[in-house]
A = this chain, B = another copy of it.
């Protein structure tokens, strides 16, 4: 018997009383005891807030991102034990892969996104500078900083590893500590993951605590700086969300609830086509994975009325070929449900669904090695509901197992209406070869869904499938699905940060944001900035170049070198009729000449110019005009050291090019790699 432990205030804690017994999904034998008795939940909150939070907040996003990567690598190297434990819960190898490798994968993605899309700072400037005054002396911006409380993650039983990691990724990246509370029935797997993470020593003290068993009065002490997330049933979610402390203190509550997701075969697809086969495979696969115990699993399948018989036949044949049984047996694709309780619940739901439709396939007799009846098995079950608009049942009753109801539609409007009858779902998917069908369905049903997938023969091979939420994309859905949003790349980081508008002079905002903004000071550099190492450059330091008079010869020479003989530069007659009214210099000549003005030609710390952003030509430059450039150090970001590369950083320079009347003719940002000394 495993005594599942909690991790509180930096110590592992085994409860002696109040234990709940957890059984093996296949054999029905007791395997673990779970209890949180004896924990001081308030002290845990305090520990997270005062020990874990400050430590994480001292790190930059890049440091936190590197930490996530290191943890992911550590877990990857030590995952064998997790696979072994997953078997106890009825998971096949594929199911365990989804949970374990899938979970570790989210850390890799959050790590990568954090380092690429967030700054190497402890805070994040959000959006752009807002010009809130005529002369630009009083402007606005937004800053995001980590909340100073604890993120409490209450997770579902079906993904004891992934469910924790997909939430911890953005939590840690944002700089918030967490308390994780897994569902008891699979908590021994979550405990094993947390043991590895703690053992790795990669997390600061207090960043992660674990409660296996009940949460006691934990939620009675949350404040507006804490965050509570919940994945699971709508009933439990409603109970949590209704807590007085959560409502009274405006505690952020992010919920992801099981929903009546749909799959659909486009009206353009007939039997015998590649897309038809794709669809049958996809539906069968999604009913099989995790034995249908996924919040994203397909519960409703919409088929054009002309294809209903063909789909029922093909899908039944396909399902009949899927081997269900003890996952430790070679070749078994679908295991048991997690527990006998779940079997009873799913059976009850199937009974309800049967009142609105008929069972057209049941794999009842096909269960292999079912553990002498002690295993938590439920057959693959397909229903058909002939009149999906006259009964609410198939849009309302969720059988959280390998159960799916087919429904007919006669046109796309009906299919959209059916999709919406789910009252808010996590995901819908559509197989079609017709882009117009895809567009109509997506625009018509997006309001009721958190994710929509369109599959065709060009994308099927690399598709990650209907049921798989990805760390890059948002996961969650409106209404019945809980109204929350998780993941979606760095969007998720915002769930754990406060966004605050800041107002002041451009110079004050520049000091806060550690970035030069238009209107902030531009002290003239005494040394050419291209002679300075990364470390030596200051935000705002500026080079004002010498001037250059643009001549007709320049325009002609530039046309010759570039091959660009556009009429506005080369054709007196056409240029006169154009909005320029006479011949103008090439925009790219202005850009090139500006580089000629500000580049320091000697070999020095500037290694390369690798890009340019937000170039706008704001006034034409005519032969006879005299231009001048100003180059200002706008932002600096250290690059992570790589072997065989000198230490370096990215320096973004703001460039303004003006004419003899001090009018801006071009403005842009250039990106350079600059060597750094340390």
Contacts and interface: CB of A to CB of B under 8 A. Distances in A.
Interface of A: 122-123, 127, 130, 132-135, 137-138, 140, 142-143, 145-148, 223-225, 238, 241-242, 247-252, 255, 257, 423-424, 435-436, 438-439, 442-443, 446-456, 458-464, 470, 472-475, 478-485, 488-489, 491, 498-505, 507-508, 511-512, 548, 554, 557-558, 560-568, 570-571, 574, 577-580, 586-589, 591-593, 595-597, 599, 601-603, 607-617, 668
Given A454-B502, A454-B505, A562-B596, 15 more contacts: A135-B462, A138-B461, A138-B464, A223-B423, A225-B424, A442-B500, A446-B500, A452-B500, A456-B504, A557-B560, A561-B561, A580-B608, A588-B591, A588-B592, A613-B615
21 contacts: A127-B489, A130-B489, A137-B462, A138-B463, A143-B442, A145-B446, A251-B483, A435-B508, A439-B511, A446-B498, A456-B508, A473-B501, A562-B595, A563-B593, A564-B595, A565-B601, A578-B603, A579-B607, A586-B595, A611-B614, A612-B615
A511 B424 CA distance: 25
Contacts of A597: 563
Contact of A435 (B442, B472, B511, B595): B511
Nearest to A136: B462
Contact of A472 (B140, B446, B548, B564): B140
A503 B453 contact: yes
A474 B142 contact: yes
Nearest to A479: B224
Given A479-B250, A566-B601, A507 B454 contact: no
Nearest to A604: B567
Contacts of A478: 147, 224-225, 250, 498
Contacts of A223: 423, 479
Contacts of A133: 462-464
B472 A132 contact: yes
Contacts of A484: 250
Contacts of A138: 459-464
Contact of A548 (B450, B563, B602): B563
Given A130-B473, A250-B482, A447 B508 contact: no
Query: A interface, by DSSP: helix, strand, loop or mixed?
Result: mixed
A606 to B, nearest CB: 8
Nearest to A648: B579
B451 A593 contact: no
A561 B566 contact: no
A607 B132 CA distance: 32
Contacts of A249: 423, 479-480
Contacts of A442: 143, 500, 502, 512
